[in-house]
Amino acid sequence: MATSTAAERREQARIEYDAFLKSCPTHQLLGRISDKWAGLIISALTGGPMRYSDLGRRIAGVSPKMLTQTLRSLERDGLVSRTVTPSVPVRVDYELTALGTSLSGLMTAVKEWAETNIEEVNKAREAYDAEAPSGRSAVPGLNEPVPAAQQVSWR
């Protein structure tokens, strides 16, 4: 049996990555980047660096806890960098790294796809729900009305 170098073993492992396997690191990474808050943060940062408070205002509905957790996770994964500027008060800016920038086009495209196709998706949901027994949605929470304050018009 021939021995292989560490670089050869790493390359072989890379070839063997299979995101369909739960234990695969790529499966875990897909879970991270498919999170709605991660996608929205990456899309928001596509325009350039933003302060924490600006991100919180830009992304409606994200709690401070989720914003902080998601930013830390994205920073840990090398997608976002955090810069602290000593001032009163302290200024903290977040921006995409080169790796994050390489992902941002995909995330922005998914966001734009959702904005473009939400009406068609809603029609499909309504048709599906109309055929469901007793008119109830197969997905819990889908029949609940959306409060007027959370309704958004994208057009």
For residue 22, the model assigns a pLDDT of 82
Cis peptide bond prior to 49, omega within 30° of 0: no
Mean pLDDT per 10-residue run, the chain (155 residues)? 74 74 86 92 95 94 96 96 91 96 93 94 93 66 58 48
For residue 14, the model assigns a pLDDT of 66
Amino acid identity for residue 100 in this structure? G
Name beta bridge partners: 83. Answer: 93
Distance CA 84, CA 103 (A): 24
Distance CA 6, CA 119 (A): 51
Distance CA 1, CA 28 (A): 33
- Is 60 in a helix, a strand, or coil? coil
Count other Cβ atoms within 10 Å, centred on residue 32. 14
